[in-house]
Amino acid sequence: MSTFSNLTARGGLFVRFLQLSQVSRTISSSSSMKSKQSLVGFIGLGNMGNHMARNLLKKGYPLVIYDISKDSVKKLQEDGAKVATTPAEVASQVNRLVTMLPASAHVQEVYTGNNGIFSSVQKGSLLIDSSTIDPSVSQEMAKLAQGKGATFIDAPVSGGVNAARDGLLTFMVGGSETAYNLAKDLLSSMGKNVVHCGTVGTGQAAKICNNMLLAISMIGTSEAMNLGIKLGLEPKLLAKILNMSSGRCWSSEVYNPCPGVLDGVPSSNDYKGGFGTALMAKDLGLAQNASTVTKSPSPLGSLAHQIYRIMTNSGYADKDFSSAFKFLQDKKLNS
């Protein structure tokens, strides 16, 4: 065959490749649009869940929602979400459902209780739990879901309320590769990073390790800020120095616990909103349980757990966990 014929044949193949690629993109786009047309369920509309659900609405996903707080559902309902009266009612209408709940007990109740998700879940449904709970509970829910012909994955989040609001969360996903791929587009509409960690429960494992480190660094940042201020340093200047030095961390740079250093964070709003101290104490309890089971020494994690438990019992339970700074300045503590 002549050189010209070879080139012509290759050119034809190239054109055919472009045509097939265009068809593939069209099918992919069509599937995505079809996916967005079907209802998605969302249960748990607290400080994090409310923002996450709103971002799904913004990205074009129609929602049916449930929360025990009527105030939590009101604004989302005004923005177009359907409201259900029970978790079972949500599950009966969807084949993809996200839950964002405070603790293991809440997850167990919402999934297995009277009028719970498993009482009406549809076969083939994908159940995504973004709560931070004991990995063994995630594994238990996955087994129960399998018995109902559904798939359960754990996908806890990191980033805080501002990241939830701005769609910049990190999702740590535990489940099969297939389930991860099915969930990825939905999770990407609420976050910036979606990481597959392994089998069910590994997402929770990653999250409790992250939160243990976060709690330790927040207490350390609070101690450093408090000491520097007592030594006569201006708070914003001290924070600037820390953040250009080796002490820099997320707690100092993005979520500084000292009031007035950063705008738009709980410390500058009387520690309202954000991630509650009681929830941090709960997560540290999960980390300590895991440390005991795996015989992994975590002395600083244990101390942080004790501090947040004391804070929880000292009037800080509903304040953001960065109120460790305020706790250190408490006159009772220093008397």
Write the CATH number for 133.
3.40.50.720
pTM, rounded to two decimals = 0.85
Instruction: Tell me which of 34, 70, 74, 207 is the catalytic residue.
Output: 207
Would you tell me how many other CB atoms lie within 10 Å of the CB of residue 234?
11
pLDDT for the residue numbered 333: 67
Query: Of 198, 227, 252, which closes a domain?
Result: 198
Distance of CA 134 to the CA centre of its chain: 15
Q: Are residues 139 and 256 in the same domain?
A: no
Classify residue 323 by its DSSP letter: G
Residue located via tokens 């587009």: 185
User: What is Dmax (Cα atoms) for the chain?
Assistant: 95
pLDDT for the residue numbered 3: 45
pLDDT for the residue numbered 330: 85
In total, how many domains does the chain have? 2
- Reported as a single tens digit per residue, the pLDDT across 191-209 is 999 999 999 999 999 999 9
Please indicate, yes or no, if residue 1 is contained in any of the structural domains: no
What parts of the chain have a pLDDT lower than 50?
1-11, 13-34
Residue 274 sits in a domain of what CATH number? Answer: 1.10.1040.10
| Nearest partner of 53 among 199, 206, 164, 182, judged by Cα | 164
Query: Of 141, 171, 198, which closes a domain?
Result: 198
CB 328 within 8 A of CB 222: yes
Q: Are residues 185 and 215 in the same domain?
A: no
Please indicate, yes or no, if residue 22 is contained in any of the structural domains: no
pLDDT for the residue numbered 37: 73
Would you tell me how many other CB atoms lie within 10 Å of the CB of residue 70?
9
Please indicate, yes or no, if residue 51 is contained in any of the structural domains: yes
Please say if 207 is a catalytic residue: yes
Phi, psi of 42, deg, nearest 5:
-145, 120
- Reported as a single tens digit per residue, the pLDDT across 261-295 is 999 999 999 999 899 999 999 999 999 999 999 99
Phi, psi of 121, deg, nearest 5:
-60, 140
C-alpha to C-alpha distance for 145 and 153, rounded to whole angstroms: 10
Q: Are residues 81 and 188 in the same domain?
A: yes
Q: Are residues 44 and 163 in the same domain?
A: yes
Beta bridge partners of 195: 172
Lookup: tokens for 85: 């009266």
Q: Are residues 214 and 180 in the same domain?
A: no
Burial class (CB in 10 A: 0-12, 13-18, 19+), 16: exposed
Distances 266 to 42, 103, 263 between C-alpha atoms, Å: 25, 22, 9
